[in-house]
Amino acid sequence: MAEHASRRCCLGWDFSTQQVKVVAVDADLNVFYEESVRFDRDLPEFGTRGGVHIHKDGLTVTSPVLMWVQALDIVLEKMKASGFDFSQVLAVSGAGQQHGSVFWKAGASQVLTSLSPDLPLGQQLQACFSITDCPVWMDSSTTAQCRRLEAAAGGAQALSRLTGSRAYERFTGNQIAKIYQQNPEAYSNTERISLVSSFAASLFLGSYSPVDYSDGSGMNLLQIHDKVWSQVCLGACAPRLEEKLGPPVPSCAAVGAISSYYVWRYGFHPGCQVVAFTGDNPASLAGMRLEEGDIAVSLGTSDTLFVWLREPVPALEGHVFCNPVDPQHFLALLCFKNGSLTREKVRDESASCSWGEFSRALRSTQMGNGGNLGFYFDVMEITPEATGRHRFNAEGHEVSAFPRDVEVRALVEGQFMAKRLHAEGLGYRVGLVAGTNMPFSEVVKLAPNPRLAATPAPGAAQVYEALLPKYAKLEQRILSQVQGPPE
């Protein structure tokens, strides 16, 4: 490994839910080194499952902050043992799981600026946190705080227009409000509140790193158009909050040189720069090299849709974040809970548990599925808030079942029409848009192009353009059945 580890490079760090990982990227954007620590496996003393602690109420979910610190220690020591040449690192940056927060105790900044290179970080930072188990994105215990924040902002839609999202339980502003209300002593003893991303950057900087615009817009606290903290939202959450957060910065900002701790302990060059870390979702937009007009869909347990927007329309569903690549533009994100597990279930029921049979069913049916439309919400959906399976024939009448091949196509078409419908609700318009020739595009032009997996079939645009209004109308019918008539 050592002979390959002496290239000039940048380090990219990922502080995710289940691990801390690093990649080294050379000047040609080739990844030539990787290392990681998995929390459950490598740090069992913290007793996490999936990297978190799920509390007895089933709603509160936290992670021990020192686990993240010790994981960084372990990764760096592994790199050192492998012969990695830290002196060649020009810059470090990275991503953190979005919506997690870290509460630094009064006096922690002095510890950060005077770290001893003779000791690991975990040993020196043990007493630096006023909250030792930090809330993370899986937490859903702040419903009361969400309702209070929406009321203070003039309603859910007003809050969405201001901050990019209605109030969500996992968002950091609501988590801060809960800690202030339930543990005022710890809040009072907190001198700085970081996101996981800015916390990680702070470890490298040796001082508090600012929150970046993009990750900061997942807090229900940042005015996404003005890029400043909302005084209304701050006041609704906790006192003196602005001073505990510090001013936000662009996501591509260089926030300072690396701490001398890393120069003396590992051999980093003193000129190595720390670039603001951001959230994992914004980082995905940058990693996919999206540009204005692009759309990306991650097909996982939940499906996540990313859209680059110039003029967003914040709504009661989905999220609008500041764009990490171009601070004048935006990133819209939609999450669909019924993703791969629902597709696998329909595959098992209608395609003999075979993806080959599933694909054959798609090929045997025509685009538009003869006007048959299906909605498959095996668990309560996020976008839209509905549950159950609903099937409609070409005349718009609800039916109890489809033929097996029709069922497969109805699932696939329905899921993707939902993504288009709700993306358009946030301001996205389907069409070809020229690239914007941004500096970031120049930076990544040497990187391999993402592999093209599929292209639209001829005539697909016309078929689904005509079918989409019918799909939207039927979705509204389902929602009216679930939610009942307006009061």
Per-residue pLDDT reduced to its tens digit, 96-110: 999 999 999 999 999
Structure token pair of residue 133: 């188990």
Fold agreement (2-282, 340-424+460-478) = yes
- pLDDT at 328 exceeding the cut of 50: yes
Rounded to 5 degrees, φ, ψ at 433 are -125, 135
> Tell me, what DSSP letter sits at residue 316?
S
Per-residue pLDDT reduced to its tens digit, 235-276: 999 999 999 999 999 999 999 999 999 999 999 999 999 999
Averaged pLDDT, 383-395 = 93
By C-alpha distance, which of 215, 20, 231, 192 is closest to 111? 192
Per-residue pLDDT reduced to its tens digit, 147-169: 999 999 999 999 999 999 999 99
Give the CA distances from residue 278 to residues 80, 163, 197, 214, 371, in Å, rounded to whole numbers and listed in that order. 26, 17, 5, 7, 43
Per-residue pLDDT reduced to its tens digit, 199-243: 999 999 999 999 999 999 999 999 999 999 999 999 999 999 999
Structure token pair of residue 395: 């005349």
E-strand stretches of 230-385: 254-257, 273-275, 278-279, 295-299, 303-309, 319-322, 330-336, 373-377
Residue 433: pLDDT band by 50, 70, 90 thresholds?
very low
- Give the residue, 34 or 381, on which the prediction is more confident: 34
Per-residue pLDDT reduced to its tens digit, 422-431: 989 888 886 7
Residue 302: pLDDT band by 50, 70, 90 thresholds?
confident
- pLDDT at 337 exceeding the cut of 90: no
Maximum CA extent, the chain: 75
Give the CA distances from residue 426 to residues 312, 330, 431, 487, in Å, rounded to whole numbers and listed in that order. 6, 11, 15, 26
- Give the residue, 385 or 36, on which the prediction is more confident: 36
What is residue 383's predicted lDDT score, i.e. its pLDDT?
Answer: 87
Averaged pLDDT, 54-58 = 94
CATH 3.30.420.40 fits 2-282, yes or no: yes
CATH architecture of 340-424+460-478: 2-Layer Sandwich (3.30)
What is residue 442's predicted lDDT score, i.e. its pLDDT?
Answer: 59
- Give the residue, 205 or 301, on which the prediction is more confident: 205
- Say if CB 91 and CB 205 are below 8 A apart: no
With pLDDT > 90 as the criterion, what percentage of the chain qualifies? 78
- pLDDT at 4 exceeding the cut of 90: no
Per-residue pLDDT reduced to its tens digit, 71-104: 999 999 999 999 999 999 999 999 999 999 999 9
Going from N- to C-terminal start, the domains of the chain cover 2-282, 340-424+460-478
Residue 290: pLDDT band by 50, 70, 90 thresholds?
confident
Per-residue pLDDT reduced to its tens digit, 470-487: 999 999 999 888 666 544
* Rounded distance between C-alpha atoms, residue 131 and residue 145, angstroms: 19
Residue 292: pLDDT band by 50, 70, 90 thresholds?
confident
Averaged pLDDT, 29-57 = 96
Rounded to 5 degrees, φ, ψ at 228 are -130, 160
Question: Average per-residue pLDDT in the chain?
Answer: 92
Averaged pLDDT, 365-369 = 96
Give residues with Cβ within 8 angstroms of 310, minimum separation 6.
292, 329, 330
What is residue 440's predicted lDDT score, i.e. its pLDDT?
Answer: 53
What is residue 327's predicted lDDT score, i.e. its pLDDT?
Answer: 87
What is residue 295's predicted lDDT score, i.e. its pLDDT?
Answer: 86
What is residue 282's predicted lDDT score, i.e. its pLDDT?
Answer: 92
